[in-house]
Amino acid sequence: MKPYVGRLVLGASGLGYPLTQVVLRRGGRTGAFIVTVACVGLTARDIAMIASGTPRRLRKLPATLLYLEIGAGFLAALTTYPMLRERWEAGNRQDRVERLRRASTAMQFGLHTIRFYIYLQPDQGRLSEMHLTAR
């Protein structure tokens, strides 16, 4: 990946949570659908990475972040889904589920941003060849 593309993707990932808030505030049910699909999409990609054995090739921190991101993404999608069926005004809803949705969505995008930053480093968060052959 070209360095400038990586920095653009990293910036977009860092803006993920604020963008979800804007999409929800302006988009109503359509916005809730978009946010749910984004959370499910990131979670599905993380599950595919785990199924392909990626954590075995990563250092401990990036592998742990990958598992945590799945949990946060699942919770974010689960707590955003009810907005598809309800009539509500974004920004006015302040119940426990909304606070949990905001926290889990922020955590998902925060963890994703940290993992992507690690991926952009020269070793991409991978274990050394010596560690891989010892496994």
Q: What is the mean pLDDT of the chain?
A: 88
Is 20 within a domain? yes
Is 35 within a domain? yes
Q: In the predicted model, what is the mean pLDDT of residues 94-102?
A: 88
Predicted local distance difference test score (pLDDT) of residue 92: 56
Stretch among 37-41, 76-80, 95-99 having the lowest mean pLDDT: 95-99
Is the per-residue pLDDT at 72 higher than 90? yes
Is 14 within a domain? yes
**Distance of CA 34 to CAs 22, 30, 44, 53, Å?**
11, 6, 15, 29
Is 135 within a domain? no
Structural domain of residue 37, as residue ranges? Answer: 3-128
Predicted local distance difference test score (pLDDT) of residue 101: 93
Is the per-residue pLDDT at 98 higher than 70? yes
The pLDDT tens digits of the residues spanning 22-47 come to 999 898 889 999 999 999 999 999 99
Predicted local distance difference test score (pLDDT) of residue 131: 56
State the pLDDT confidence band at 97, using cuts at 50, 70 and 90: confident
Is 134 within a domain? no
Q: In the predicted model, what is the mean pLDDT of residues 57-72?
A: 95
Helix (H, G, I), strand (E, B) or coil at 126: strand
Is the per-residue pLDDT at 1 higher than 80? no
Is 29 within a domain? yes
Q: In the predicted model, what is the mean pLDDT of residues 120-127?
A: 87
Helix (H, G, I), strand (E, B) or coil at 127: coil
Residue 12 sits at φ, ψ, to 5 deg, of -65, -40
